[in-house]
């Protein structure tokens, strides 16, 4: 018998010990890993796991004292781990462990011996990815892109709807720029002031982000081609208030199209929170409205497979090259009202994105970071909706303006 310490790449605290015979095959090892990590790997068949030896260039086992292993155990993926899990190094199922371990020292403690890679999408996940047409169509009825000139851009969710108004939830950090200060309500200003104390690096003093905040200064200095949407937003208005454009991904389209635009002022500011990085705006329902209130879920649990999706969260991420994106992830832990997500690599969405189930139901949102700041690769954080959003208008008694509950 031989004892091997195995780590699932991209999943925090996933190191486990398995015992196998050297006469066993790699397939047998996969079954042992699956059995030992049945909760983390419950959604993948054993034979689909990809296994790699955790050995250095001089055929030594990875020491637990290495910084790469420390990060591995936190769910992070370093360049070394990336190299060790390259396709050409994958162990073949029919190989015997005796052959695989030739030339290696006997495995011992304080080492990592096997790296386990879980395929990005397996089993039923294929059918219920947000990119599935049926699920995608449902998502984009409630998920939109919001932007204002060159200052901010990100993802918003229709959290409520009355006969006269839509309530759009965005990240508060999108509105910290000085461009918006004079037009926000007192409550929003107070929350932004507190937010900037929590995240002082977010403070800006001009209409556009400074070149120092851009990863690639050369790219930042290149003239950008203005889209019709951006050009339209730059058209002067009599009110002098910042214009906010709301875009929706409509059926049979590949790029979001404008469905609403509104002037940012005190009346549109409905609710915000610095601690939980959200801002909700009250916007008049457009004439030809195709948006509906989302069906949020307050239930989420460890090992739950989710998808993180939305629109790029900052204009300096324009090199991302896509109108929107979706990435698979898994809930691996909690910190108060925060979910810890593993296997997430979404730089374009790090500051503005939603977390949803495989059925397209939102369970939370990425928050606390601006698009110019990255979550750790393969690990990120998101807020749940549980207890964060105050009582919404559609659940309140009718007000003097005649708004009534709109059952969807």
Cβ count within 10 A of residue 187:
14
- The CATH architecture assigned to 127-408 reads Beta Barrel (2.40)
Q: What percent of the chain has pLDDT over 70?
A: 72
As a whole number, the mean pLDDT across the chain is 77
pLDDT of residue 225: 37
The residue extents of the domains of the chain are: 2-119, 127-408
Contact assessment for residue 42 and residue 110, using Cβ atoms and an 8 Å cutoff: no
**How far lies 45's CA from each of 15, 31, 332, in Å?**
19, 9, 19
Q: Give the domain 2-119 fold.
A: Ubiquitin-like (UB roll) (3.10.20)
pTM equals 0.58
Question: In the predicted model, is pLDDT for residue 114 greater than 80?
Answer: yes
Instruction: Report pLDDT digits (tens) over 42-89.
Output: 768 898 899 999 998 889 999 999 999 999 988 888 889 989 999 889
Tokens standing for residue 180? 């918006």
The neighbouring-strand residues paired with 315 are none
Q: What is the distance of C-alpha 90 from the center of its chain?
A: 29
165-170/278-284 β-pairing: antiparallel
Task: Compare 255 and 246 and report the one with higher pLDDT.
Answer: 246
Q: How confident is the model at residue 152 (pLDDT cuts 50, 70, 90)?
A: confident
Query: Going by C-beta distance under 8 Å and a sequence separation of 6 or more, which residues neighbour residue 226?
Result: 234
Q: Out of 111-115, 170-174, 385-389, which region has the weakest mean confidence (pLDDT)?
A: 385-389
Tokens standing for residue 383? 């807020």
Tokens standing for residue 270? 């409905």
Query: Going by C-beta distance under 8 Å and a sequence separation of 6 or more, which residues neighbour residue 153?
Result: 145, 146, 147, 174, 311, 312, 313, 314, 315, 352, 371
b/e code 141-178 from CB counts within 10 Å (16+ = b): bbbbbbbbbbbbbbbbbbbbbbeebbbbbbbbbbbbbe
Q: In the β-sheet with 243-248, what is the strand arrangement from edge to edge?
A: 257-263, 243-248, 143-148, 152-161, 165-170, 278-284, 269-273
Question: In the predicted model, is pLDDT for residue 193 greater than 80?
Answer: yes
pLDDT of residue 218: 36
SS3 of the chain: CEEEEEEECCCCCCCEEEEECCCCEHHHHHHHHHHHCCCCCCCCCHHHCEEEECECCCCCEEECCCHHHHHHHCCCCCHHHHHHCCHHHCCCCCCEHHHHCCCCCCCCCCEECEEEECCCCCHHHHCCCCCCHHHHHHHCCCEEEEEECCCEEEEEEEEEECCCEEEEEECHHHHCCHHHHHHCCHHHHHHHHHHHHHCHHHCCCCCCCCHHHCCCHHHHHCCCCCCHHHHHHCCCCCCCCCEEEEEECCCCCCCCEEEEEEECCHHHEEEEECCCCEEEEEEECCCCCCCCCCCCCCCCCCCCEEEEEECCCCHHHHHHCCCCEEEEEEEEEEECCEEEEECCCCHHHCCCEEEECCCCCEEEEECCCCCCCCCCCCEEEEEECCCCCCCCHHHCCCCCCCCCCCCC
Question: In the predicted model, is pLDDT for residue 131 greater than 70?
Answer: no
pLDDT of residue 408: 28
């Amino acid at each position: 018998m031989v004892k091997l310490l195995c780590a699932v790449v991209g999943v925090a605290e996933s190191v486990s010990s398995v015992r196998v015979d050297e006469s066993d095959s790699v397939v047998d090892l996969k079954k042992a890993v699956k059995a030992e990590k049945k909760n983390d790997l419950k959604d993948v068949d054993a034979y689909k796991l990809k296994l790699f030896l955790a050995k250095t260039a001089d055929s030594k086992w990875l020491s637990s004292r290495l910084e790469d292993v420390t990060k591995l155990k936190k769910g992070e993926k370093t360049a070394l781990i990336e190299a060790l899990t390259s396709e050409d190094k994958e162990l073949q199922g029919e190989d015997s462990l005796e052959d695989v371990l030739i030339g290696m020292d006997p495995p011992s403690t304080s080492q990592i011996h096997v790296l386990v890679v879980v395929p990005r999408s397996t089993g039923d996940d294929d059918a219920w990815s947000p990119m599935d047409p049926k699920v995608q169509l449902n998502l984009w009825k409630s998920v939109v892109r919001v932007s204002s000139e060159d200052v901010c851009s990100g993802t918003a969710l229709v959290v409520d709807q009355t006969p006269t108004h839509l309530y759009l939830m965005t990240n508060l950090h999108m509105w910290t720029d000085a461009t918006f200060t004079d037009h926000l309500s007192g409550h929003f200003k107070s929350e932004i002031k507190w937010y900037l104390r929590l995240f002082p690096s977010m403070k800006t003093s001009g209409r556009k982000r400074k070149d120092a905040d851009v990863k690639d200064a050369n790219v930042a200095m290149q003239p950008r081609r203005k889209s019709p949407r951006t050009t339209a937003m730059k058209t002067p208005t009599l009110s002098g208030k910042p214009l906010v454009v709301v875009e929706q991904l409509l059926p049979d389209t590949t790029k979001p199209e404008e469905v609403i635009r509104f002037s940012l002022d005190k009346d549109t500011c409905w609710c915000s929170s610095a601690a939980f990085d959200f801002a909700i705006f009250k916007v008049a329902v457009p004439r030809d409205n195709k948006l509906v209130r989302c069906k949020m879920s307050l239930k989420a649990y460890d090992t739950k497979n989710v998808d993180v999706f939305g629109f790029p969260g900052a204009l300096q991420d324009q090199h991302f090259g896509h109108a929107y994106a979706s990435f698979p992830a898994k809930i691996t832990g909690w910190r108060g009202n925060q979910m810890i997500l593993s296997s997430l690599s979404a730089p374009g969405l790090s500051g503005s994105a939603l977390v949803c189930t495989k059925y397209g139901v939102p369970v939370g949102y990425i928050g606390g970071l601006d698009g110019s700041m990255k979550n750790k690769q393969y690990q990120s954080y998101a807020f749940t909706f549980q207890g964060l959003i105050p009582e919404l208008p559609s659940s309140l008694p009718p007000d003097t303006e005649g708004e009534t509950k709109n059952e969807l």
